[in-house]
Structure 1
Amino acid sequence: MTGTSGKPLGIIAGGGPVPRHVANAATRDGRPVLILGIGGEADQTIEAFPHAYLQWGQIGRMQKLLNERDIEEIVLIGNINIRPDFRSMKLDLGAVKIVPKVLSLMTSGDSDLLSGVIKIFGELGYIVVGAHEIAPDLTVGAGPIGRHGPDAAGQKDAERAMIAARAIGAIDAGQAAVAINGRIVALEAAEGTDAMLERVAALREKGRLRWSGRAGVLAKCAKPQQDLRVDMPTIGLKTIQAAVDIGLAGIAVEAGRAMLMDRAEATSLADDEGLFVIGEPSGGPSAP
């Protein structure tokens, strides 16, 4: 875990449950927490902790709130559903000072963008740490999670889907892929994992994909160039429910480089539905 007990922590929060989980972990470690929720993205659950809401462009206000509490370490975590449009937002003085750098980043790929954001925060005097460093229980280890593991067909699909996910990650296109009966049927792009799974469901409903029982695996892994402090691949209840609804046999994620949210509930759901969830070692097969 980064930092020492009692050292204050700032959390810049998008949507989803991860910011709350990180805040709970920091609080248990004796660290005062301030959550700065992004307006329109952060959940109201952050209000269980000291918090404030920020609109895009309020960099100066963010600095003021963090500096008032002597916060040096920050976590950037949570879902961002709408990419900000800096041409239409009202920028405060703090944002105006860095807007040329921000605008240049907006034309970058996801990994370059996030690395640039970390650099900007460093220039502002903050240290960006990963959610998994504050709450290490989020990280998926190697092997099965829960009661179920893959059979031979499931293991083959897991390996095939992981190869595909690594391939698209190398070109900064996405983090996930689906293989069914040895065939790659979906690759993640800008739409994200959940929308990719909806696409698989639609293909099955139209008869473009056919299988009986549970078959196929969703694999998700970090891109080679990805900075895990701000963009570690994540699965949770929603992902597992989608895999169940589609009829997949399992989910494979890169061990040590992916997070599982709501672990107890997610594991219980997978166990009840006969779905396996496994952590695949990094550096696995790289060719079919």
Structure 2
Amino acid sequence: MHPRRAEETPAPIGPAFENEPLGIIAAGGDLPRILAEGAVAAGFRPIVARFADGIGAGWADGLGARDFRWGEAGDAIAWFQSERVRRVVSGGTVSVRPDFRAVRPTWRTLQLLHHAIRIMRGGDDSVLKRTARFLEGRGFELVAVQDLAPQLLMPAGYLGRRVASPDERAALALAARAARTIGILDAGQAAVASQQRVIAMEGIEGTREMLQRVGDLAKRGRIGAREVCVLVKAVKPGQDRRFDLPSIGGATVREAAEAGIRGIGLTAGYGLVIGFEDLVAAADAADVFVVGVEPDDEQLAGEAP
């Protein structure tokens, strides 16, 4: 397993004053819980607004969390302001993008609806950048996940026992090129390739459904018996590092292994690992390699500070 020396992990941010409130926009999965735990450990008072897949998540009940429908987004902003929140971090999975033409907005949200509709046009990175500008225009400072929980960043090198074979390294390089290409288009972050060809590229369906598609292709004999397939999740060229960094966890490894994937690459220093111990255990159990891939200059160009 790649060693994670203490000096390699920067210290997390801290509060500007005692018990400073930190707004957490919490969607689904484990990441919002990790952010809240990190906020408490750093001395912040978490103010948790649960949206989408995060609504009803029990881990936040003791923090005075509140649930908000998409039509109540304006109320969430007003709540943050009433709690004197200055800094905000967001994280978690959103399985379905909101259609603001179909929601029933509250009066506060109705006042913001034309902004929301404009924000939701385009690819994920474009949406998130417009969301950041919108929140900054209302006095909030956006905090990156890795600034609050730097221990989640993927190190360079291998995690777990397995290392890539020559054929797997060739597949890794091709999948990385494919992931960078769709990142330029703001279409997705992940791609699967063999040593011979690109097998699948992520679109709006997300990584999980892309892997299911790869598994179906393998079952139907569309992937050759001698092809070794590798998944790469990569930071997009010029991506705003405060939002939606590529991430993997134990579930990713298990889903990849079920699809016949032999290894996983993630951008080192920029990708997030949600649960190192679970990921390494899953990788060793499935005989799948996991490696932190160094980003190139094209990926980092134009990134937010």
Deviation at 1:210, TM superposition (A): 2.7
The whole-number CA distance in structure 2 between the counterparts of 1:199 and 1:259 is 24
Deviation at 1:131, TM superposition (A): 1.2
The whole-number CA distance in structure 1 between the counterparts of 2:119 and 2:81 is 25
* Normalised TM-score (structure 2): 0.87
The whole-number CA distance in structure 2 between the counterparts of 1:137 and 1:49 is 23
Which structure 1 segments of 5+ residues have no match? none
* Normalised TM-score (structure 1): 0.92
> Is 1:20–1:45's contact at 8 Å kept on the other side of the alignment?
yes
2:211 paired residue number: 197
Structure 2 letter corresponding to 1:2: I
- What percentage of residue pairs aligned between the two structures are identical? 31
Given the alignment of the two structures, is residue 282 of structure 1 paired with residue 295 of structure 2, yes or no?
yes
Deviation at 1:266, TM superposition (A): 1.1
Deviation at 1:237, TM superposition (A): 1.8
> Is 1:174–1:189's contact at 8 Å kept on the other side of the alignment?
yes
CA RMSD of aligned residues (A): 2.0
Deviation at 1:205, TM superposition (A): 0.6
Deviation at 1:47, TM superposition (A): 2.5
Structure 1 letter corresponding to 2:129: S
Given the alignment of the two structures, is residue 16 of structure 1 paired with residue 29 of structure 2, yes or no?
yes
Question: What are the within-5 Å matches in structure 2 for residues 196-235 of structure 1?
Answer: 196-211=210-225, 215-235=228-248
Deviation at 1:55, TM superposition (A): 1.0
Given the alignment of the two structures, is residue 248 of structure 1 paired with residue 261 of structure 2, yes or no?
yes
Counterpart pick for 1:238 among 244, 247, 251: 251
Question: What are the within-5 Å matches in structure 2 for residues 107-126 of structure 1?
Answer: 107-126=121-140
Deviation at 1:70, TM superposition (A): 1.9
Given the alignment of the two structures, is residue 87 of structure 1 paired with residue 101 of structure 2, yes or no?
yes
Given the alignment of the two structures, is residue 27 of structure 1 paired with residue 40 of structure 2, yes or no?
yes
Question: What are the within-5 Å matches in structure 2 for residues 158-173 of structure 1?
Answer: 158-173=172-187
Bigger mean CA offset, 149-158 vs 89-98:
89-98
Given the alignment of the two structures, is residue 184 of structure 1 paired with residue 184 of structure 2, yes or no?
no
Deviation at 1:220, TM superposition (A): 0.7
Which structure 2 segments of 5+ residues have no match? 1-11, 300-305
> Is 1:148–1:275's contact at 8 Å kept on the other side of the alignment?
yes
The whole-number CA distance in structure 1 between the counterparts of 2:297 and 2:200 is 20
The whole-number CA distance in structure 2 between the counterparts of 1:74 and 1:221 is 25
Counterpart pick for 2:58 among 41, 44, 65: 44
2:302 paired residue number: none
Counterpart pick for 2:13 among 2, 24, 49: 2
2:7 paired residue number: none
Counterpart pick for 1:266 among 279, 288, 293: 279
Structure 1 residues 285 and 160: alpha-carbon distance in aligned structure 2, compared to 1, 3 A threshold: farther
SS in 1 for 2:71: coil
SS in 1 for 2:23: strand
> Is 1:36–1:53's contact at 8 Å kept on the other side of the alignment?
yes
**Number of aligned positions between the proteins:** 285
> Is 1:222–1:258's contact at 8 Å kept on the other side of the alignment?
yes
Deviation at 1:159, TM superposition (A): 1.0
The whole-number CA distance in structure 1 between the counterparts of 2:297 and 2:254 is 26
SS in 2 for 1:249: strand
Structure 2 letter corresponding to 1:70: R
